[in-house]
Amino acid sequence: MKNKIFSIFFFLLIFTVTSAQTKVRVYGYVIDTSNRGIELANVYFENTTIGTTTNQNGYYELITEVRDSATIVYSMLGYQTVKHTIHPRQKVIQISVELAALSKEISELNVVGQRRQTSTIDMLDPSKYRVIPNSSGGIESLLITFTGVSSNNELSSQYNVRGGNFDENAVYVNGIEVYRPLLVRSGQQEGLSFINPDMVQNVSFSSGGFDAKYGDKMSSVLDIDYKKPTNFEASYSLSLLGASAYLGTAGKKFTQMHGIRYKTSQYLLGTLDTKAEYKPSFIDYQTYLTYQLKPKVELTFLGNFSQNSYFFKPTERETEFGTYNMGRKLTVFYEGTEKDLFQTAFGALTLNYKPKKGLKLTLLTSAFNTNENETYDILGEYILSEVKMDLKAENKNGESLGVGKYQEHGRNKLNATVTNIGHLGEYDIENNKIKWGVNLQSEIITDKISEWEWRDSVGYSLPFSDQQVNLFYNLKSKSYLSTWRTTAFIQDTYKLKADGGTFLFTGGLRAGYWNFNNELLVSPRLSVAVLPHWERDFTFRLATGVYYQAPFYKEIRDTVTDALGNINVNLNNNIKAQRSLHFVLGGDHYFRAWGRPFKFTTEAYMKLADRVESYTIDNVRIRYSGENDAKAYTAGVDFKLFGELVPGADSWINLSLMNSKEDIIGDSYLKNSFNDNGEVVSSETIYPGWLSRPSEQRYTFSMLFQDYLPNNPKYKMHLKFIWSDGLPIAAPRNSKFSTAFREVGNRMPPYRRVDIGASRVLINGSDRMMSRAWLKHVKSIWLNLEVFNLLDFKNVNSYYWVTDIYGQQMATPNYLTGRQFNVKIMVDLK
């Protein structure tokens, strides 16, 4: 009896072991005979419903339970079907297959995986990068890892492109240009950018040489397309930096999207040197509605309201700077507060009509309003002292080098309304794609500025006078501007197929007129793309054209100083649009390495500019001279390696080298020589000539790397790394000193930053805990842990200038945020 029981037990044990299922992850690529990834190929287990399709790079991934063996089928219309049998001796198996075309006729119709870039516009799918560590909360933080793009302030969503400043970047959402607040002085005030990442379908970006359909900016264009839901979708997220919620639905004729975002940077600002009561509160609501009036007629509405509220009550600051042999410490004790409120509203109504195949006509109208109030009264008393290099903290304090006071006062109000009405058209006919547009814009701006700064150094008011007390800086202005401008463009893209390759020619003409300065602008643009029929996969492109920076309100403000030292603002109606001639030559090489797809891009460029307005940058505030007083040039080269360093996960590495100089026409300063008694013995007039532009960053290296655990790809890691040259240093509100300082090549330290994030995704139907009844409407949950500024680099984005007892001007760095942790949860509903 015992033997029978033992035999039955042994049989059941063997049956259980041999019939046990093993969970297996199979991944790889499906490629054609030209070594290109095949998109939308079917990959499935034979005689089951378990399967998937390949992405644009031909990548696929399957996870299932297998007993002893299984057969995977690879198929695609126009290609021979391939089968592969696996035996799950390993939990992770990589299989890449090559599909041969059934015939030459059909093979010509296949979908090529990687999109060939035939213009200077680079495209990005934002859905792939939702969990990238991001302290600003916007799409723009992803842009700074593109070639030619740089930033030196993680608190701001602004960016520089190939030597240009923030105002030289055009931003479009669904074909409509959007604006940002005008009075923002620092990244702490800025808040949320216009673009809501939850609502974005496609991101297109160009660093220069873009088509005539894009507006009058000299540096770059960011073109955003909001998505149109096809069914119900919703998500929400929560982190230490804020929260967001998104809802999208679709019916037979009506679709809608709603997104609301809340951001507070209070947690990040706690790492700054200035200890204060920070109360930043930023909220934004957006909606995008579409309604199909008729089969060929569609009506859409895009609406936005945002409010940025910033309260700042500083108490003290302690900043150490200098070198090992000459350390300095600035200690400041504060009184006073700053209260800012920026409110913007935007609405755009669009009517799309498609009378026949290939023809699209659009009528659009939009309105933008910004109401900005900036109020501050801050008094600071500072001590500048030596720092001794001693291991003991109590022995580090040295003698005092200077004491002083300052008071900053501001009562600034600005209200601006911009309205548009326009028409866009697009017509595809044979090998031509013609686009055109016309727009009429009205601008009404009211601006009241009252700000001053008083400084006292070692008991003397600056600038010193034995007759009166002078203010260090005093600006008053009351301006009203009501103008209109009109723009129009037409362009055609012609596609030519020849034995040697495929050629695309895009030529366009853009024109504009502004009644404020009565200036007519004409901007011809041309680009050529070549896709040669070579054994190796290359594309080449050349773009050139004339680009204008049509002046807006900030550019026309010309400051005039009266006999008492007061600065007033005059609106200069003699100002001309800044003009730049672009040359861009680039190419891409598509290849496979380690069985994975890669693209190596090189672009060389030159920009020759005249009628330039000189400017200075302090944090994120740009101050223009209000005159066409300079000429400039920028030349450089960008390199980018894009691909799957890890199968199925996009990563890229960028290197940009640049030289950007400007020559302010007629500028000079007096250089004095002194004897031992401090008397001037000789003077020499210095003409500086070509100097570094305020936004010149001679090199930028950036990297975005994504990885996951091979045995469980639900655990992911994301790394973003930036190392860029420091900006030239210029003392604000002192043109002579700024010129002399820039002439000797003084710069901020390099901007270095490493952000890293780790995430785990829980998927309904895959993870056991997601099978609970109360989670039945949850599609997935992302759990993220982020570390900002992992290596705790002390980055600088501006300086405060103080005077010591020896009369030397010293630049005290304003450091950016330190290392900080963030926890974020994102939930997708179904």
Q: How would DSSP label each residue in 633-681?
A: EEEEEEEEEEEEEETTEEEEEEEEEEEEEEEETT--EEEEEE-TTS-EE
* Three-state SS at 388: coil
Confidence of residue 269 (pLDDT cuts 50, 70, 90): confident
User: In the prediction, which pLDDT does 237 show?
Assistant: 94
pLDDT of residue 505 exceeding 70, the answer is: yes
Beta-bridge mates of residue 327: 322, 387
Q: Would you give the distance in Å from CA 746 to the centre of its chain? A: 27
The model's pLDDT over 661-693, given as tens digits with 9 standing for 90+, comes to: 999 998 877 777 877 776 777 888 888 889 899
Core vs surface per residue 79-103: b (16+ CB within 10 A) or e: beebebebebeeeebebbbbbebee
Confidence of residue 522 (pLDDT cuts 50, 70, 90): very high
**CA distances (Å), origin 654, targets 152, 270, 427, 651:** 16, 32, 36, 10
- Classify residue 281 as exposed, middle or buried by CB count within 10 Å of its CB (0-12, 13-18, 19+): middle
d(CA 511, CA 523): 6
Nearest Cα to 402, choosing from 329, 324, 318?
329
The model's pLDDT over 154-163, given as tens digits with 9 standing for 90+, comes to: 888 888 999 9
Q: Which two tokens stand for residue 808?
A: 């030397």
pLDDT of residue 538 exceeding 60, the answer is: yes
User: In the prediction, which pLDDT does 13 show?
Assistant: 40
Contact between 162 and 207 (Cβ < 8 Å):
yes
d(CA 233, CA 829): 6
Calculate the average pLDDT of the chain.
Answer: 85
pLDDT of residue 196 exceeding 70, the answer is: yes
Nearest Cα to 742, choosing from 670, 801, 622, 661?
661
Mean pLDDT of 248-276: 90
The model's pLDDT over 341-377, given as tens digits with 9 standing for 90+, comes to: 999 999 999 999 999 999 999 999 999 999 999 999 9
* Three-state SS at 143: helix
Helix H or strand E segment including 7? helix 2-19
- Classify residue 253 as exposed, middle or buried by CB count within 10 Å of its CB (0-12, 13-18, 19+): exposed
Say which amino acid occupies 662.
E
Q: How would DSSP label each residue in 63-130?
A: EEEESS-EEEEEE-TTB--EEEEE--SSSEEE--EEPPBS-HHHHTTSPBSSPP--SSEEEE-GGGGT
Phi, psi of 580 (to 5 degrees): -140, 135
User: In the prediction, which pLDDT does 2 show?
Assistant: 47
pLDDT of residue 5 exceeding 70, the answer is: no
| 145 or 717, which is more confident | 717
* Three-state SS at 709: strand
Residue with tokens 């969503």: 157
User: In the prediction, which pLDDT does 110 show?
Assistant: 39
pLDDT of residue 735 exceeding 90, the answer is: no
Core vs surface per residue 517-547: b (16+ CB within 10 A) or e: bebebebebbbbbbbeeeeebbbebbbbbeb
User: In the prediction, which pLDDT does 803 show?
Assistant: 64
d(CA 1, CA 14): 20
Mean pLDDT of 476-485: 92
Mean pLDDT highest for which of 133-147, 423-437, 703-717? Answer: 423-437
d(CA 61, CA 714): 12
Mean pLDDT of 321-349: 88
Mean pLDDT of 648-655: 90
Contact between 752 and 702 (Cβ < 8 Å):
no
Please list, in sequence order, all residues whose beta carbon lies within 8 angstroms of the beta carbon of residue 621, skipping any fewer than 6 positions away.
Answer: 184, 185, 186
User: In the prediction, which pLDDT does 6 show?
Assistant: 45
Q: Which two tokens stand for residue 574?
A: 């003699």
pLDDT over 90 for what percent of the chain?
Answer: 44
pLDDT over 70 for what percent of the chain?
Answer: 89
d(CA 529, CA 501): 10
Contact between 175 and 117 (Cβ < 8 Å):
no
Q: How would DSSP label each residue in 175-211?
A: TEE----S---SHHHH---S--GGGEEEEEEESS---
Mean pLDDT of 694-701: 92
The model's pLDDT over 373-429, given as tens digits with 9 standing for 90+, comes to: 999 999 999 888 888 766 566 667 777 777 888 889 999 999 999 999 999 999 998
Say which amino acid occupies 21.
Q
Phi, psi of 755 (to 5 degrees): -115, 135
Nearest Cα to 652, choosing from 714, 697, 588?
588
Please list, in sequence order, all residues whose beta carbon lies within 8 angstroms of the beta carbon of residue 461, skipping any fewer than 6 positions away.
Answer: 454, 455, 469, 470
Mean pLDDT of 796-818: 77
| 677 or 235, which is more confident | 235
d(CA 218, CA 438): 20
Say which amino acid occupies 761.
V
Rg (CA), the chain: 30
pLDDT of residue 536 exceeding 90, the answer is: no
Phi, psi of 659 (to 5 degrees): -135, 120
d(CA 435, CA 658): 33
Contact between 609 and 585 (Cβ < 8 Å):
no
Beta-bridge mates of residue 509: 490, 524
* Three-state SS at 771: helix
Max CA separation in the chain (angstroms)? 121
pLDDT of residue 805 exceeding 60, the answer is: no
| 682 or 334, which is more confident | 334
The model's pLDDT over 653-668, given as tens digits with 9 standing for 90+, comes to: 999 999 999 999 988 7
